[in-house]
Amino acid sequence: MTRKTVAVLPGDGIGPEVLDAALPVLADLDLPLDLEFGEIGWDCWRTGGNPVPDRTWDLIGRSDAVLLGATTSKPRREALAELAPELREHAPQYLSPIIQLRQRLDLFANLRPVENHLGGGTPYRFCVVRENTEGLYAGLDFHPVPNALWPLVAEHPNARRGGPDDATASIRLQTSYGLDRILRFAFETARRHGYGRVTLADKPNVLRRSSAYVRERLEAVAADYPELPFEVLNVDAVALWMARRPERFGVIVAENMFGDILSDLGGGVMGGLGLAPSANIGERGNYFEPVHGSAPAMAGRGRANPAAAFLTIGMMLEHLGFPEAAGSVHDAVRQVVRRRDRVTYDLGGTATTTDMARAVIEAGQRTTSAPTAAVV
């Protein structure tokens, strides 16, 4: 098998700690992988005016996969205040590194699997597939309301009480191009990983016209997957049922903002973001990242749960074509989490990040038979 290159970008906060702890698992798996480390995040911004420097883009460009620890995203004003003084006069625009990766690499699908790792209660396993490039986060977010939009906005009785300065408008953009590719991706994920069904989380009882169009596209794509049942539910009902009966779901596909919210809820359903991995996938790139973010207040204290980093590495291995290795990482995490003896504080234990990571690596070494669990 040809060797694959992985760009490892530890980033900020707890990112470097969780990757340091989890990456040694790769040594045991003996895969044809070359890891190349690169820089991303807050220090790059403060000292160079760009959280994703050119040398990192070069590295990403020659890699088969990108493994990210975590990056800090801050509002523009705070970001500018932290910039090195000599850079301030050039007034570079701050743009969150993960948003840069998603936009520049056109990573349209954000996958966030949710599973009953902790055990107890009904088993469940589903995946939120979030559209990552359009929807309410398309960037059509206005204040004041632009003149071109004002005649439409002013039809609303509340808007007529003021002018364009007294209102904001954010457009939920969905295009046939964007819809078809994310819907197809959702069905492919369901088929490939045995998720059994596809639920579109939308808001057809309020956003009538846009939801009707999305449903049309859904039905057209679904015709290619006759074995997979599909449904459209209101997003609020999906939130309720995720909490009450998570086992009823397979793939939940949603536009950007709905998917953002539902995937955090998925982390909550699982018992915390410490167990939540993610993959951002497009035609010409990807990055894999634990959902928990940089958690600056926790950094350097050995408290971060490394499970999400392991599960993220598992998703990356699966993507790179190593399903058995992926399955064994996944199973090892599950064993340790279920036993709860060498786990971090968020799971009720007292282990440090490295202790828990060692427990996972040891569990993997004990597993001899090839695991069958799908990771995504």
Tokens of 60: 């990403």
**Is 131 a binder of Mn ion (CB under 5 A)?**
no
Tokens of 315: 């998703």
Residues 130, 99: Cα–Cα separation, whole Å: 14
Residue 17 interaction partner, one of ligand IPM, Mn ion, none, beta carbon < 5-8 Å per kind: none
> In whole angstroms, how close is the CB of 11 to ligand IPM at the nearest point?
12
> In whole angstroms, how close is the CB of 328 to ligand IPM at the nearest point?
27
Measured from the CB atom, the residue of 99 and 207 that comes closer to ligand IPM is: 99
Measured from the CB atom, the residue of 73 and 174 that comes closer to ligand IPM is: 73
Position among 260, 289, 318, 331 found at the interface with Mn ion (CB under 5 A) = 260
Residue 186's H or E segment, with its range, is helix 176-192
> In whole angstroms, how close is the CB of 273 to ligand IPM at the nearest point?
10
Task: Report which residue type is found at 290.
Answer: P
Residues 70, 306: Cα–Cα separation, whole Å: 12
The residue number whose beta carbon is nearest to Mn ion equals: 260
Widest distance between CA atoms in the chain: 70
Nearest to 311 by CA among 296, 295, 332, 341: 332
> In whole angstroms, how close is the CB of 108 to Mn ion at the nearest point?
16
Measured from the CB atom, the residue of 131 and 260 that comes closer to Mn ion is: 260
Measured from the CB atom, the residue of 12 and 260 that comes closer to Mn ion is: 260
Residue 95 interaction partner, one of ligand IPM, Mn ion, none, beta carbon < 5-8 Å per kind: none
CA 306, chain centre distance (Å): 16
Query: Which residues, listed in sequence order, are joined to residue 252 by a DSSP beta bridge?
Result: 128, 199
Task: Give SS3 for 29.
Answer: helix
> In whole angstroms, how close is the CB of 51 to Mn ion at the nearest point?
17
Binding site for ligand IPM (CB under 6 A): 73, 96, 99, 260
Total residues at interface with Mn ion (CB under 5 A): 1
Residue positions counted in the chain: 376
Residue 332's H or E segment, with its range, is helix 323-339
For residue 117, how many other CB atoms are within 10 A of its CB? 20
> In whole angstroms, how close is the CB of 86 to ligand IPM at the nearest point?
28
Residue 96 interaction partner, one of Mn ion, ligand IPM, none, beta carbon < 5-8 Å per kind: ligand IPM
Measured from the CB atom, the residue of 132 and 352 that comes closer to ligand IPM is: 132
> In whole angstroms, how close is the CB of 120 to ligand IPM at the nearest point?
27
Query: Which residues, listed in sequence order, are joined to residue 280 by a DSSP beta bridge?
Result: 110, 287
Phi, psi at 90, each rounded to 5°: -80, -5
Residue 72 interaction partner, one of ligand IPM, Mn ion, none, beta carbon < 5-8 Å per kind: none
DSSP readout, 15-64? HHHHHHHHTTHHHHHT-SEEEEE---SHHHHHHHS-SS-HHHHHHHHT-S
Residue 73 interaction partner, one of Mn ion, ligand IPM, none, beta carbon < 5-8 Å per kind: ligand IPM
CA 153, chain centre distance (Å): 33
Q: What are the residues binding Mn ion (CB under 5 A)?
A: 260
